[in-house]
Amino acid sequence: MIHLNQPNKTQLDALINHRQPDWQQQHNQEKSYKEQRHRFMLKRLRLQTLIMLLAGVTIIAYFLWTNPYPEGKMQALKIGFIVEIFILICGILCKTSIGYRFPDLIFLSLCWSVTCAVQIDIALIFNNLEPRIGLWSLMFLTQATIMPVLWRMHLISQVGTIICYLLLFTIYRPILEYPINFYIEQGLYLFWTCAICVISVFLYEQLKKQEFKASKELEIAQQQSEKLLLNIFPEVIAEQLKQQHTTIANSFHEVTVLFADIVGFTELSSRISPAILVELLNKIFCLFDELAERHGVEKIKTIGDAYMAVAGLPNYHDDHAIAIANMALDMQNALTQFNQSNNQYFRIRIGISTGPVVAGVIGLKKFAYDLWGDTVNTASRMESHGIAGSIQVCQTTYALLQDKYLLEERGMIQVKGKGEMMTYLLKGNRGEGNRQ
């Protein structure tokens, strides 16, 4: 009976490295957007503070120039000084931890320091309650232009200004200088100024959210494509593919190639369902993939139930034969453990050969990184002419491994397309004894 453990993660999950759920991605994007908007607000608040200070200086200078009375000049200077000090305090707070934590409050403070504070000061000093609609509109337009985020804060600042004036009007009950139609007209202009500011900020922020989301989705897609590319090609080859459109082909003087075939798997395919068969094969090859990564070996491809890997390319290292030998021995052990866990009796036949190869990328739509040369053919023959449950190596590989590994001479065998060849069976590491 075939017994399967809990299903492995799918190949796609492995390729894109555990893709986050949609709700979590959306939460992360919202958090990232708010952080970006927070930094944007602090920068723009500092800019707005500087502009308001400069604008205040020009307005104070105008009133000093146009007011013919010394007392009036002093009172105008007093109001301007109070407002400028208030704006300067807001600007200083922008650079502190308070400003970093409460930028919304500084935003409202900057607005009301010009609209409400000026209105209150004029009422107290001059006993004048004419609505300063021109000044209010300038303030609202300035904030909507310089800081087109947080439309609710814009609305609150506008409503707060109107409420402040209505409270002053209720307390003082002044006699207005102009007919009621004048104030209705000014109020209509103010209403549409406020409405346009809030709507424009709302639309701008929605657009920025969409742009931010699109850029994040593009970034995630690029990261996933990068991971996908790195799972298909070695990192060096992936970089070459991104940077050049010419044929990628390289010669390597000496590498070690491994072919492995699961004995009995083809026969099993006639007795079990395709889904279970593929799941078994996937679990086995996932184990081999982990071993390849651990030993610094490049997986080249799988062909049915055969597995091909190479050490020593694309980045050359002189212990390529050792890396392949260690991987081959670990593949035997991994399959033994797999059989015990899944109530199976698979055996693996492995062939290894060392020598020169040519490696490159072929294909038009479905690219593949592959190897060519006599070394590849010899490794394939070492596997196909090998013994089930054994690792067969050629004479060249034997010469590189004989000092560190236990190898048994198999003798001369007839190899298709090669004639007679001396072969050896890799039994284990000398330091560990026989690993089988």
11 within a domain of the structure (yes/no): no
The answer on 348 and 212 residing in a single domain is no
- What pLDDT is stored for residue 418 in this prediction? 82
The answer on 159 and 100 residing in a single domain is yes
List, in order, residues 6 or more apart from 421 with CB less than 8 Å away: 378, 381, 394, 395, 412, 413, 415
The answer on 151 and 286 residing in a single domain is no
Rounded Cα distance between 112 and 116, Å, is 5
98 within a domain of the structure (yes/no): yes
The answer on 359 and 259 residing in a single domain is yes
The answer on 195 and 340 residing in a single domain is no
The answer on 246 and 204 residing in a single domain is no
Pairing of strands 391-393, 347-362: parallel
Please, which residues bridge with residue 421 across strands? 413
| Backbone conformation region of residue 84, classed left if phi is above 0, alpha if psi is from -120 to 50, else beta | alpha
Give the residue from 193, 225, 257 where a domain finishes: 225
CA-wise closest residue to 256 among 189, 140, 352? 352
Place of tokens 């209403």: 191
230 within a domain of the structure (yes/no): no
Q: E strand or H helix at 285, and its extent?
A: helix 274-295
- What pLDDT is stored for residue 24 in this prediction? 56
217 within a domain of the structure (yes/no): yes
| Backbone conformation region of residue 201, classed left if phi is above 0, alpha if psi is from -120 to 50, else beta | alpha
Name the token pair of 253. Answer: 């003087």
Give the residue from 225, 258, 273 where a domain finishes: 225
Task: Kindly report, residue by residue over 196-244, the tens digit of the pLDDT.
Answer: 999 999 999 999 888 888 888 888 777 777 776 666 666 666 666 666 6
The answer on 248 and 216 residing in a single domain is no
Q: What is the total count of domains within the chain? A: 2
Rounded Cα distance between 381 and 359, Å, is 19
Are 41 and 107 in contact by the 8 Å Cβ rule? The answer is yes
Name the token pair of 343. Answer: 């109530």
From start to end of 130-272, where are the E strands? 249-263
Rounded Cα distance between 210 and 202, Å, is 12
Task: Kindly report, residue by residue over 277-303, the tens digit of the pLDDT.
Answer: 888 889 999 999 999 999 999 998 888
- What pLDDT is stored for residue 124 in this prediction? 86
The answer on 294 and 187 residing in a single domain is no
The answer on 250 and 177 residing in a single domain is no
- What pLDDT is stored for residue 6 in this prediction? 42
Rounded Cα distance between 387 and 275, Å, is 29
12 within a domain of the structure (yes/no): no
Rounded Cα distance between 264 and 282, Å, is 16
CATH of the domain at 336: 3.30.70.1230
The answer on 169 and 69 residing in a single domain is yes
The pTM assigned to this predicted structure is 0.57
259 within a domain of the structure (yes/no): yes
Flag residues of the chain having pLDDT under 50: 1-19, 23, 433-436
CA-wise closest residue to 336 among 233, 262, 247, 251? 262
The answer on 251 and 194 residing in a single domain is no
**What range defines the domain where residue 115 resides?**
22-225
3 within a domain of the structure (yes/no): no
The answer on 206 and 94 residing in a single domain is yes
Task: Give how far Cα 306 sits from Cα of 256, 267, 280, 392, Å.
Answer: 17, 14, 14, 15
148 within a domain of the structure (yes/no): yes
Task: Give how far Cα 421 sits from Cα of 93, 276, 374, 385, 416, Å.
Answer: 83, 39, 14, 11, 10
